[in-house]
């Protein structure tokens, strides 16, 4: 999980860690009231601000959202986005749709690598290795070969 990854990387910032626990609530829970985050404790307002920074706005394209983090994101938002992506890349082992895995790897290379390179070189290195192993899986499964063959027809 994202919090575990942050702790593994030595992050002990309470706002960052709290945001890592609740950041998916707004996107994943229908009718979630963000005010609930504010009311958690004295860090609540800052936690909510960070959560909102890493939450895609309704109707916003994912690429535009990720580009806005690259261009305007706070350091905390960038660190949280990288840790979350590491967590999600690890979970890709349970995803069987190769097209999704390929798209997620492409997105990671294009948008998350630059963020990680800026904020945490060790996370950057782990993300590279995760992309390499996921792409190897796609190759070993025959997906890449099938895709090439179908594009040549």
pLDDT in tens, 115-142: 999 999 999 999 999 999 999 999 998 8
Query: What is the DSSP secondary-structure string of 21-73?
Result: HHTTHHHHSTT--THHHHTSSTTHHHHHHHHHHTSPPTT--HHHHHHHHHHH-
Q: Which pLDDT belongs to residue 22? A: 94
Q: Which pLDDT belongs to residue 96? A: 77
pLDDT in tens, 58-102: 899 999 999 999 999 999 999 999 999 999 999 987 777 999 999
Measured CA to CA, the distance from residue 126 to residue 117 in angstroms comes to 11
Three-state SS annotation for 91-152: HHHHCCCHHHHHHHHHHHHHHHHHHHHHHCHHHHHHHHHHHHHHHHHHHHCCHHHHHHHHHC
| Beta carbons within 10 angstroms of residue 93's beta carbon | 11
Encode burial over 27-43: b for 16+ CB neighbours within 10 A, e otherwise: eeeeeeeeeebeeeeeb
153 has a pLDDT exceeding 80:
no
Of 14-18, 20-24, 123-127, the least confident: 20-24
Q: Which pLDDT belongs to residue 146? A: 87
Q: Which pLDDT belongs to residue 95? A: 77
Q: Which pLDDT belongs to residue 46? A: 98
Encode burial over 53-87: b for 16+ CB neighbours within 10 A, e otherwise: bbbeeeeeeeeeebeebeeebeebbbbbbbbbbbb
| Mean pLDDT (the chain, rounded) | 94
Q: Which pLDDT belongs to residue 9? A: 98
Q: Which pLDDT belongs to residue 75? A: 98
C-alpha pair distances (Å), 111 with each of 74, 104, 128: 15, 10, 12
Whose CA is closest to 91, among 22, 5, 32, 10? 5
Supply 142's token pair.
Answer: 């025959």
């Amino acid at each position: 999980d994202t919090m575990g990854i942050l702790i593994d990387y030595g992050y002990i910032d309470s706002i960052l860690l709290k945001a890592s626990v609740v950041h998916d609530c707004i996107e994943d829970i229908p009718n979630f009231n963000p005010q609930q985050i504010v009311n958690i404790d004295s860090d609540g307002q800052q936690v909510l601000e960070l959560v909102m920074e890493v939450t895609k706005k309704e109707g916003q394209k994912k690429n535009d959202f990720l580009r806005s983090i690259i261009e305007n994101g706070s350091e905390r938002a960038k660190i949280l986005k990288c840790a979350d992506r590491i967590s999600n890349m690890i979970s890709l082992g349970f995803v069987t749709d190769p097209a999704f895995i390929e798209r997620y790897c492409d997105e990671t290379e294009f948008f998350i690598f630059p963020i990680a390179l800026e904020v945490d070189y060790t996370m950057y290195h782990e993300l590279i290795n995760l992309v390499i192993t996921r792409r190897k899986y796609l190759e070993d499964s025959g997906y890449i070969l099938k895709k090439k063959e179908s594009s040549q027809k």
